[in-house]
């Protein structure tokens, strides 16, 4: 299971380890605790559980059955796409970043589970990089395309689109129906997320 991560969490690792993390997105952190520390940490988990649930709930600024906020997205090929122009199609909006390991792990499963099965349908997949410069995203997209991940890569350098939809961790997916209404949403590269998205896409396309 790969839960979503926030840029703040990634930046904290960068502060602590500096250039050691380099451009590698896949970072493993090992923590060793004494028995007393384990006991204290277990107490913290129980104590903080309700707060974490509240934070998770508040990550979505737009929820199921809300009308998706319109936006104009610049793609890496220079074209632009306006969400409202896609009415009549099912749209999956994915928020990601080049530094986000769960985002990239999810990407590698998307062709087989999402884009290939629905390539001949009225379906559009938009991969929106949040808070990153176009040059950086273009470099990563070039590498990803070599691995067969040839998506509609768009950029949201100022997070204008992201700030209308959600907060905190990525990846996040918003499934929007033919009328521009959000019908399903996921956070993190959690087992079952893409299968559930695929099932929901199939339902919407059958209407």
CATH fold of 1-207 reads: Glutaredoxin (3.40.30)
DSSP 113: I
Query: Which parts of the chain fold into alpha helices (H)?
Result: 7-17, 35-57, 101-110, 134-146, 162-165, 193-205
Where does residue 57 fall: left (phi above 0), alpha (psi -120 to 50 degrees), or beta otherwise? alpha
CB 104 within 8 A of CB 71: no
pTM: 0.76
CA R_g for the chain:
18
The tens digit of pLDDT for each residue in 144-187 reads 999 999 999 999 999 999 999 999 999 999 999 999 999 999 99
Instruction: List the chain domain ranges.
Output: 1-207
The tens digit of pLDDT for each residue in 47-74 reads 444 444 434 456 999 999 999 999 999 9
172-176 vs 90-96, strand pairing mode: antiparallel
Asked if the model's pLDDT at residue 43 lies above 90, the reply is no
């Amino acid at each position: 299971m790969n839960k979503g991560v926030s840029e703040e969490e990634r930046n904290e690792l960068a502060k602590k380890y500096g250039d050691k993390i380099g451009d590698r997105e896949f970072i493993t952190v090992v923590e060793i605790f004494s028995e007393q520390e384990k006991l204290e940490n277990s107490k913290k988990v129980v104590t903080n559980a309700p707060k974490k649930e509240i934070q998770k709930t508040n990550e979505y600024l737009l929820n199921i059955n809300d009308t998706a906020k319109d936006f104009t997205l610049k793609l890496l090929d220079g074209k632009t796409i306006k969400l409202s122009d896609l009415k009549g199609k099912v749209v999956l909006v994915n928020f990601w970043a080049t530094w986000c390991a769960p985002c990239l792990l999810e990407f590698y499963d998307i062709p087989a589970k999402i884009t290939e099965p629905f390539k001949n349908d009225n379906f559009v997949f938009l991969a929106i990089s949040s808070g990153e410069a176009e040059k950086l995203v273009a470099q990563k997209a070039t590498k990803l395309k070599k691995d067969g991940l040839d998506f509609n890569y768009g950029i949201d350098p100022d997070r204008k689109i992201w700030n209308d939809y959600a907060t905190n961790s990525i990846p996040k997916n918003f499934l929007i129906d033919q009328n521009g209404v959000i019908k399903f949403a996921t956070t993190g590269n959690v087992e079952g997320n893409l299968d559930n998205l695929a099932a929901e896409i199939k339902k919407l396309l059958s209407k």
